[in-house]
Structure 1
Amino acid sequence: MPRRPSIARGKSLFGDAAPETKPAAAAFRINIDGGSRGNPGPAAYGVVIRDARGEIVAKLKKYIGRFTNNVAEYYGLIAAMDYAQSHGVRAIRIESDSELLVKQMRGQYRVKSADLQPLFERAKKMSQAFDSFRIEHVFREQNREADALANEALDETEGKPTKPAVPEAAPKPSPADKAGPRRIPARFRGGVLYLLEDVGLPDGTVVEVSIFPLQKP
């Protein structure tokens, strides 16, 4: 009778069991919308964020100045991803009624606008930090809540002076300018440096940044 092959103690007759795989995190569903009255004109975005159970966990809206619809759409996308990353969300599904935005993020359309190029690059880099990122086109009727938030942000600014995207004249020096260089804490996330303090500088001010890491990532 042939000798039965020996089996090491503690080993399965059928080999090692397959390692358990960690289930993929359920995706948050995020609706985004951007609007501009005048295109370009007063612009704002709206964002509705739902968790994996479909419950609304956050609503975002913000007036961003005088821009086009497409710029406002990208601002909304970036705001949505920033919220998700800052709250530890690892999987998201973006829904937008902007076919241009969706197809550019999918690589189906080229980004030809100089105004959109830096926003696209920032959004693309942020999207790559998620374990799962999907972006889908939906009809406007399916995006009403985000659209309503963008319009609310615009309505709230009516009658108030709006800031142009580029200052028409050089801004006057602020107290912060006269105080000389300062060290401001910041956090680097998704390829973007976020300041943690108000620097008190006018929009459009050009500054020089020196990096001093305070802790290892």
Structure 2
Amino acid sequence: LEYAVEHGPKALKVVSDSELLVRQIKGIYKVKEPTLRDLHGRASQLINKLQWFEIEHVLRGHNREADELANTAMDKGSGRAPFRPPQAPQKSQTEFNGIVRGGKIELLSGHLPEGTAVEVRVKPAK
């Protein structure tokens, strides 16, 4: 949050595999631990400086890239690993067939984890 406020975009979407964190940031759960209350207050201040903010929960298995980034950040903070900016994700060459129903694309085969970014190429109907 600090980095986004100081250097980056005015809009931020956070995807976390911690359901507790997501619910605390959204105000669904209270933050009971005094130390965490201070951090929650700081996070709220930073969020309020952004023009747009969203946070959502995903299962850990669907959040591998973020989990790796978080582990790298924790290692950097503990002095165990040098900081390296995240690399741009590589484009997957996997292709799926789908059809539009009700304004949404339904895959005819295969499965994509929730939150997967996709690039759509439209083919004429046969």
TM-score with structure 2 setting the length = 0.54
> Does residue 82 of the first structure (1) align with residue 2 of the second (2)?
yes
Report how far residue 156 of structure 1 moved: 7.0
Q: After the TM superposition, which segments of 4 or more aligned residues of structure 1 sit over 6 Å from their partners?
A: none
2:66 aligns with 146
Between structures 1 and 2, the one with greater helix share: 2
CA distance in structure 2 between the aligned counterparts of 1:150 and 1:134, rounded to whole angstroms: 18
Aligned match of 1:111:
31
Matched residue, 1:97: 17
RMSD over aligned Cα atoms: 2.3
In terms of fraction of residues, the more strand-rich structure is 1
Give the C-alpha shift of residue 121 in structure 1: 0.3
What is the alpha-carbon distance in structure 2 between the residues aligned to residue 149 and residue 133 of structure 1?
20
Instruction: Give the direction of change, closer, same or farther, for the CA distance of 1:115–1:86 in structure 2 (3 Å limit).
Output: same
| 2:80 counterpart letter in structure 1 | T
Query: What's the CA shift string for 1:96-115, capped at 9, x where partnerless?
Result: 01011100110100010112
- For 1:132 and 1:150, the matched residues in 2 are separated by 22
Can you give the 5+ residue segments of structure 1 that lack an aligned partner in the other structure? Answer: 1-80, 159-217
Q: CA deviation at 1:122?
A: 0.2
The structural deviation recorded for 1:124 is 0.7
Larger Rg: 1
CA distance in 1, matches of 2:61, 2:43: 25
Aligned to 1:157: 80
Instruction: Measure, in 1, the Cα distance between the counterparts of 2:9 and 2:25.
Output: 20
Given the two structures, how large is their TM-score scaled by the length of structure 1? 0.33
Identity %: 45
2:40 aligned to 108, 116, 120, which one? 120
